[in-house]
Amino acid sequence: MTEHDTRLLIVLPSWVGDAVMATPALVRIRRALPGAFIGALARPGIDRLLEGLTTPGGHAVIDEFHIGRPTGVLGPKFTAAKIRPRRYTAALLLTGSFSTALTTRIAGIPRRVGYDRDARGFLLTHRLRPPRTGSKWAVIPAVSYYWHAAAALLDPSTPPEPDTPPLHDLRRVETGLPPGVTMTLPVSPRDEREADAVRTMLDLPRDEPTAILNPGGNNPAKRWPADRFAALADHLAGAHGLTVLVNGSPAEAELCASIVRQARTDRVHALPGTGHTIGSLKALCRDARLMVTNDTGPRHIAAALGCPLVSLFGPTDPRWTTIPVRTLADGTPSETILVADESLPVDQIANDHPDRCRIDRITLDAVARAADTLLAAVDADRTQE
């Protein structure tokens, strides 16, 4: 694929975490096609997350966002009508749904590249194959899926099936990304202003040392118990002098408030209800010393902005979402992953063992120790910079 006369539509993932994991692929495409017009079809909110994304050289990755969700019987038709006037010559689908493939077909986009899932293969002109292990999907990190899809878009001779990494570790697998390639997110002046407004509401100085707790998740089975998050907030405030911010969506406001109520320290604050936005979260993550999180989108936001992480995984296998993170001076990654059952054989998938891998099997002591160790390593890393 060349940039001459190229008008490319990228159909972005719907979930926040997946959209962040797609950023290495997005940057790769723009660097390969510096003169192309690149539009993005995104659900509401994903545009704000990626707004201002640039290459290392400062070139805007996305020229225009189209906001829409092709749901319902007429959803693909209405969404296609929004994008058809741009006369795109190619589409890369980073989604796996039938409806998004149908949308690009109705829009008349002649070249359509994507994974053959959800019975949509006949709608694609260039079908990629998600690998299987027996009757199940093979464990491949999402960041690797998107990277491979970008390669196939740019070079049609790319094999249709990405490589399956060996399972040597319960916590992570190789992503196949080149050294130095990371996820990235911009922090705009608007994001800064929104974060400052949150700090003002909470009466926090901008240089206040903070930790962020992220207790939510779209699946209750992913959520570490709220009372343990409250006890962890007490530990981070007492042992490390950190002010603790409890992050959540508006729907998770009561969960966040319950953690504040259960904590003994007065140095803990719920972010819902403060005017908190996805933009303020980006700025707060960039400045935080640590995030402790369930398996959910803010984990990826924090990683993309260099925030050290303790990530908790129950019956969702962390290898599906292995992400590139910064390496600290002592050679350890800036993310510590805790799994519910460390004795699970490496060739088994946590998703297949919901009771054995219940997230409440991760103890408070284990999380506190992981936070202590990571904070010490981060402090040592800063002294060597």
What residue spans define the domains of the chain? 7-154, 189-383
Q: Are 309 and 293 in contact (CB under 8 A)?
A: yes
Cα dist from 283 to 24, 194, 278, whole Å: 20, 8, 9
Q: Are 34 and 4 in contact (CB under 8 A)?
A: no
* Superfamily for domain range 7-154: Glycogen Phosphorylase B; (3.40.50.2000)
Range 279-283, long-range pairs (CB < 8 A, 24+ positions): 279/48, 279/188, 279/190, 279/191, 279/194, 279/195, 280/191, 280/194, 280/195, 280/197, 280/198, 281/247, 282/49, 282/185, 282/186, 282/187, 282/191, 282/195, 283/187, 283/191, 283/192, 283/194, 283/195
Q: Is the dihedral of CA 235, 238, 241, 246 positive or negative?
A: positive
Cα(67)–Cα(64) distance, integer angstroms: 10
Lowest mean pLDDT among 132-136, 154-158, 265-269: 132-136
| 135 pLDDT tier (thresholds 50, 70, 90) | confident
The residues, ordered by sequence, that sit 6+ positions from 378 with a Cβ below 8 Å of its Cβ are 289, 290, 308, 328, 334
Q: Nearest to residue 245, comparing CAs of 214, 212, 275, 216? A: 212
Q: Note whether 7-154 and 189-383 share their fold.
A: yes
Percent of the chain with pLDDT over 90: 91
Lowest mean pLDDT among 32-36, 74-78, 192-196, 299-303: 74-78
Task: Output the pLDDT for position 382.
Answer: 76
CATH number of the structural domain 189-383: 3.40.50.2000
Cα dist from 80 to 70, 104, 106, 174, 278, whole Å: 8, 7, 6, 37, 27
pTM of the entire predicted model? 0.95
Task: Output the pLDDT for position 276.
Answer: 96
Task: Output the pLDDT for position 133.
Answer: 86
Task: Output the pLDDT for position 262.
Answer: 98
| Mean pLDDT of the 57-70 span | 93
User: In DSSP terms, which residues pair with 250 in a beta bridge?
Assistant: none
Task: Output the pLDDT for position 385.
Answer: 58
